[in-house]
Amino acid sequence: MEKKKATKPTTPNNSESNIWSQRSTTTSFICITLFAILVRIAVSIHPYSGAGTPPKYGDYEAQRHWMEITLNLPVKEWYRNSTVNDLKYWGLDYPPLTAYQSYIHGLFLRYFDPQSVKLYTSRGYESYIGKLLMRWTVLLSDVLIFFPAVIYFVIVYYSGVHEGSKSGMMWHFAMILLNPCLILIDHGHFQYNCISLGLTVAAVSAILSDRDVVGSILFTLALNHKQMSAYFAPAFFGYLFGKCLRRQNPFLEVLKLGLAVLGTFIVLWWPYLYSLEAPLEVLLRLAPFERGIYEDYVANFWCTTSVIVKWKRLFSTQALRILSLVSTVSTCLPSMMLLILAPSRRNFLLGLLSSALSFYFFSFQVHEKSILLPLLPASFLAIDEPLIFRWLTYFALLSTFPLLRRDDLILPYIALYGLFVLLYNAPAQREDTRETRSRFTTLKYFLITCSLLLHIVYLMVAPPRRYPFLFEAVMMLLCFSQFFFIFMYTNMKQWEFFKISSQTVREKKNI
Amino acid sequence: MKLPKNHHNQTQIPKPKPNKPITEILWVSLIAICIKFLLIPAYHSTDFEVHRNWLAITHSLPLSQWYSDQTSPWTLDYPPLFAHFEHFLSFFASLVDPTMVHIHHGLNYKSQPTILFQRLSVIVSEFVLVFGIYRLTRNLGYKERVLIWVLVISSPGLMIVDHLHFQYNGFLLGVLLISLSALEEGKDLLGGFVFAVLLCFKHLFAVAAPVYFVYLLRHYCRGGLIKGFGRLVIMGSAVVAVFAAAYGPFLYHGQIQQVFHRMFPFGRGLCHAYWAPNFWVFYIILDKVLAFLLVKMGFNVQAPIASFTGGLVGDSSPFAVLPRVTPMITFGIVLLAIAPCLIKAWRDPQPRMITRWIAYAYTCGFMFGWHVHEKASLHFVIPLAIIALKSAEDAKHYFYLSIVSCYSLFPLLFEAQEYPIKVLLLLLHASLMWSGFFSHFSANASTKAAGSEQTRYDKTRFIVGWFGKLYLLGLLAVEIYGQFVHPILFAERLPFLPLMLISIYCAFGMMYSWIWQLRRIIKLH
């Protein structure tokens, strides 16, 4: 119902109520924002990961534990094993910005519920008020970082676009803000992806509005919140580098950006720069090489192909590390090169998607939650490539389903799935935000039916005893195939852009 | 993903989609259902156990014992059709979880499937409401239609009472709206019949019965003495048939007295534990103030022993100075308050006015009734949504009323987890309303005002005046006091003070609404 207002400005009599369009845009923004907060709050009353399951609990306990550690120990001790900081028990394994964020949230928790962050004694602390406070920290981070970033993105993306095409703006805004996977994982499962993703969104919008230095700083911040943000690094690098090359003084431009990145790094890592070993110690914590190339059933290349090739048995971890590095770099290289050669805005967004996907497929130790990273640029493309966005969302949801089922989040899963389908198909939507009917309609319906059936089978049917993870494997195969399609498609699209741009360059030269 | 789309520049002309209203309203209500679905594990009041117990009673006991069973303190006190409704639900409930419908083992039973089933039963039964508004709005323009749906379906009051607190108001109001839609279309017999059915679901809806009676008598039973009398007989027999079907079996089992005894529990106080924001709040406060002043002036005023929320204790009055109020007095005042509307209905029974009149009748019942629940404000807020778009003034009145009514329901949810939910529901509703009304009436105004003078231009525009803004800001102040200032000032003491403030403050808004509606009804022709 709430999205309704978003589609309101689409009705034809816009010309006369032009004076009010500014005002109605603002109120639509407010309505969608409030609705998005409401959805998040409503999801947050459901269980979190590892609720009431000692001794290890889940991500919720991990985050709480980090607050406890950062709050009670000096900065230098945060990443170091000691009697009070047992790194085996949810040791901090994210970059410093996550640690600082935990510290701030820890202060918030200590103010209202000191028990919940007491050193050592608070392990496994769970209470009604504790859960509420923790949920509030996520919500506040989301509203203070992700929301403004998305508003910034939408404003930048639609600035300069003429009035008529602005109708899809509210729909687009809602689509990015109400991404079901992000809400389920942050406010249901319990994580702070909204911070690193929010910083990425802000970085993308800054770069789209030609504030490259600001963009680089923001992206560095994102990278320092979660190292997974590196999934986007090739696209950022390619686009910025390509842009710099087309300026008057390329070397100076690159230097400017490099200094901005370096400066941000130095500021964030300052507490660990007192010796050479200290930052290395932290870096080692960030790279979980001991955990094997894949875990559980992730719809990436290694895990999917392991059905046929037993990677873990065939190669040593050392070899696998190199293998995964080489394959990741080689698969994201084409997209990056194309970006350097044809740095256009749309190409940049496509590049973000394809590089995130290649990291998702080939990098070491990928978690199923990492699908959030490719999903973000896909939501940027919701207007240009509605089908890609919808498809990726459906299968991203499916790929996280086993995880969310373990967390007992089936109710919100169903609700958000439904909400996404409904909002995506808002009735008063303009024609230009609708998909074209393609020849693959039957295939699409078939795949969607398969995915829905898989959900039901996974919930209802006990797997055969010989293959206890049969359904997970089938889901993984299905998701991987779809993700791979999208990956190929985005690369192809980038190639097309490149061809177009080189053509125009040639034409210009001819003139 | 397989096909690049390159039709960007072709479709600049916005084509209105040939969507049918029914698919659109389903879309709106499904979005609301997603939110309701998410709220399933949220707080629910004892009403949850009440309805579970009714499921158990109707499922495990024969009809003759439905109204005499006393296993649980939450005895059945709704009319027979509602009991049948519970009986119908209990059939499915027994399939979901047999313990839920067990008369003894089910007491305070709250398994996951039980919660899911009961919540879903509310969500599904609300489709009656969706059907009701669909019937009422299907002939309106696209914008008006959608706006009204949003007003009703996203109504925060309904969400708080039905989907959090736990009740079946959406379903019952749906029946009322179906009856109203029939009357508006001129299908009087159907309207009367459905209203009779509604009365057998929940007797609190009977407040509007006088309006129905007068309206149907003058509108349906007209056209000469013989024809009119014939129609009176038809209508009468329809209504009697409904009541006979509902109460007959109980009459047969000799239970009818027990049924009425349960439905009308005498011995409750003038006010509910939390005072509904109505006229009696002023009465009580005036009494307190007078008593205080008289004592100051040296008179000997005895402090009352009885409380106005409890029952009538012996012969003592809960009031120190002012005369005591009895159920008969409240009944008389309600009738008196409805009288102007009855006269209007008698003189000129018009279908387009009926929704306004019925809503007004429920407002009177709310303002002056005996032992009124704060939830009863939904009985007129929801029907008024249907006519909120008739004029800018209606919209303005509805804007205040629905905010006040929703805010007065806030004390129902007192736990920390639901606090942001109720606040967000209200904020979202208010901003949707504001933007909807604003764009609707500014578009209207600019089309109408082309050529006409400035004064008329302003009258058709939706404007929240400074006084209204001040009043709404006052709501914020009351809330901030109750949430933050009061705990600092008094800690745990005087816990009723913030609630009392909410009651008093909202009572002003309700009083305004009552007077506004009364004036509107007298003025409109």
Q: How confident is the model at residue A434 (pLDDT cuts 50, 70, 90)?
A: low
- Residue B451: the pLDDT is 47
The sign one gets for the Cα dihedral B235, B238, B240, B243 is negative
Q: How confident is the model at residue B268 (pLDDT cuts 50, 70, 90)?
A: confident
Cβ contact A438:B1 at 8 Å: no
Global pTM reads: 0.92
Q: Rounded to a whole number, what is the distance in Å from the CA of A119 to chain B's nearest CA?
A: 26
In the structure encoding, which two tokens stand for residue B274, read together? Answer: 């939390």
Measured CA to CA, the distance from residue A231 to residue A235 in angstroms comes to 9
- Residue B140: the pLDDT is 86
Q: Give the tens place of pLDDT for each residue, B166-219.
A: 999 999 999 999 999 999 999 999 999 999 999 999 999 999 999 999 999 999
* Distances, alpha carbon B70 to alpha carbons A196, B50, B53, B66, B189, in Å: 59, 12, 11, 9, 39
Q: Give the tens place of pLDDT for each residue, A442-471.
A: 888 999 999 999 999 999 999 999 988 899
Query: Are A17 and B28 within 8 A, CB to CB?
Result: no
Q: Rounded to a whole number, what is the distance in Å from the CA of B417 to chain A's nearest CA?
A: 7
Across the interface, of A5, A39, A489, the residue whose CB is closest to B436 is A5
Q: Which residue has the higher pLDDT, B263 or A105?
A: A105
- A51 interfaces chain B, CB cutoff of 8 Å: no
HSE-CB for A271 with a 13 A CA cutoff: 13
Query: Are A439 and B34 within 8 A, CB to CB?
Result: no
Query: Are B34 and A416 within 8 A, CB to CB?
Result: yes
Highest mean pLDDT among A282-296, B70-84, B133-147, B169-183: B169-183
- Residue B311: the pLDDT is 47
Across the interface, of A11, A31, A387, the residue whose CB is closest to B428 is A31
Residue A3 pLDDT exceeds 70: no
Where are the extended beta strands (E) located within B264-373?
none
Q: Which residue has the higher pLDDT, A409 or B447?
A: A409
| Nearest residue in B to A436, CA atom | B5
Query: Are B15 and A431 within 8 A, CB to CB?
Result: yes
- B35 interfaces chain A, CB cutoff of 8 Å: yes
- Residue A501: the pLDDT is 85
Question: B 266-305 residues with CB below 8 A of A?
Answer: none
Q: Rounded to a whole number, what is the distance in Å from the CA of B150 to chain A's nearest CA?
A: 6
Query: Are B143 and A11 within 8 A, CB to CB?
Result: yes
Q: Give the tens place of pLDDT for each residue, A101-113.
A: 999 999 999 999 9
- B17 interfaces chain A, CB cutoff of 8 Å: yes
Per-state percent for chain B, helix, strand, coil, to nearest 5: 70, 0, 30
The mean pLDDT value for A120-131 works out to 91
Residue A346 pLDDT exceeds 50: yes
Measured CA to CA, the distance from residue A384 to residue B244 in angstroms comes to 63
SS3 (DSSP) at A498:
helix
Across the interface, of A13, A31, A422, the residue whose CB is closest to B431 is A31
Phi, psi of B372 (to 5 degrees): -85, 140
- B29 interfaces chain A, CB cutoff of 8 Å: yes
Residues sharing a CB contact under 8 Å with residue A92, sequence separation 6 or more, in sequence order? A66, A69, A70, A78, A79, A98, A99, A102, A285
| A to B CB pairs, distance under 8 Å | 163
Query: Are A1 and B31 within 8 A, CB to CB?
Result: yes
Cβ contact A176:A379 at 8 Å: yes
Residues of B in contact with A489 (CB under 8 A): 1-2
Q: Which residue has the higher pLDDT, B156 or B306?
A: B156
Measured CA to CA, the distance from residue B466 to residue B484 in angstroms comes to 26
Query: Are A435 and B416 within 8 A, CB to CB?
Result: no
Residue type, A211: R
Burial pattern A318-351, b for ≥16 Cβ within 10 A else e, equals eebbebbeebbeebbebbbebbbbbbbeebbbbb
| ipTM for this prediction | 0.91
Query: Are A422 and B32 within 8 A, CB to CB?
Result: no
Cβ contact B79:B263 at 8 Å: yes
- Residue A88: the pLDDT is 87
SS3 (DSSP) at A466:
coil
